[in-house]
Amino acid sequence: ETGVTQTPRHLVMGMTNKKSLKCEQHLGHNAMYWYKQSAKKPLELMFVYSLEERVENNSVPSRFSPECPNSSHLFLHLHTLQPEDSALYLCASSQGRSVLNEQFFGPGTRLTVL
């Protein structure tokens, strides 16, 4: 595997379910990100991890819980979601957090909350 991979690619869940999204980067990067893209809205940054520590949390509801066990893996744990949380969730990684360091994106997980 190369680049940034995300699993699952599609997920349908009920509002009472608990699920997790997984991201893995094979680029040796030390920063990882979760983004949300809702229909007809811009890409929104949710969380940033640098050297496995969370450094940004953009007022994301607590029903989204990130976890970064090591520099290659990033999870987004989901519980008691709402239908408006249906969106494309994208993971990205970069070597350092400077804007000059390109962010590499995964293909995303298309989440539908019923």
Partner 1 sequence: DQQVKQNSPSLSVQEGRISILNCDYTNSMFDYFLWYKKYPAEGPTFLISISSIKDKNEDGRFTVFLNKSAKHLSLHIVPSQPGDSAVYFCAATWYSGGGADGLTFGKGTHLIIQP
Consecutive H or E run containing 100:
none
- CB of residue 107 vs partner 1: minimum separation in angstroms? 5
The residues in 56-95 that bind partner 1, with binding defined as CB under 8 A, are 56, 90-92, 94
User: Quick check: 46 binds partner 1 (CB under 8 A)?
Assistant: no
- CB of residue 97 vs partner 1: minimum separation in angstroms? 5
CA atoms within 13 A on the CB side of 3: 11
User: Quick check: 102 binds partner 1 (CB under 8 A)?
Assistant: yes
Extract the tokens encoding 50: 């640098």
Pairwise CA distance, residues 26 & 3, whole Å: 5
**Helix (H), strand (E), coil (C) string for 78-91:** EECCCHHHCEEEEE
Residue 28 or 41 having the CB closest to partner 1? 41
Given 41, 53, 62, 69, the residue binding partner 1 (CB under 8 A): 41
- CB of residue 80 vs partner 1: minimum separation in angstroms? 27
